[in-house]
Amino acid sequence: MEKDLYTLAKDKALEYFEKAHIVLTEKEKNEVEVADFGLGDLYQTGLESVVYINTDNCCAKEMVLFPYQTCPEHIHPPIGDHYPGKEETFRVRMGTVYLYVEGDPVSNPKAIIPKNSEKFYTVFHEITLQAGEQYTLYPGTKHWFQAGSEGAVVSEFSTHCYDEYDIFTNPAIKRIPDIIN
């Protein structure tokens, strides 16, 4: 991802946090992650986040999704004998989020699957979350999510986060972003 795009998306994410009344320290503002998942189409498939804490036992972060921006389908796998996978709770602070998990699929999903990626989205049990609503995902749950038309701010509370081990349905995805000057 080009540095200019990273800076633009980071600044836009900070505007979303402010609008949702999420107060960040200067250090946190400087550490906002912008992930395009290596696909080069940030506004279709991407995520902006800031991590407050990530200890051996817990993780807390804030996420921004721009209008119709999608976090692609993935699971948080077990790691070794000590970690069964991430358990996470999403709580929407602003906007609407369409969350998709395994289960009975809806016939007409509200989310728009990213163009040319249809084969990488396989779970369609739809959960619509509005501001103030939350949903907990248990380890090993395949899922993906997308913001509605106004974008969204989401708080995530979870067990320890090992983003680098996430398994995506799309094998071309790179979870950790590369920023190019």
Hey, where are the domains in the chain? 3-168
CA 9 from chain centre, in angstroms, equals 14
Q: Is the pLDDT of residue 21 over 90?
A: yes
Confidence grade of residue 56 (pLDDT, cut at 50, 70, 90): very high
Rounded to whole angstroms, the maximal C-alpha distance in the chain is 45
pTM score of the predicted model: 0.95
Instruction: Reply yes or no on whether the pLDDT at 176 is more than 90.
Output: no
Contacts of 16 (CB under 8 A, 6+ apart): 48, 64, 66, 94, 151, 153
Class of the CATH domain delimited by 3-168: mainly beta
Q: How far is CA 174 from the centre of its chain?
A: 14
Output the pLDDT for position 179. 78
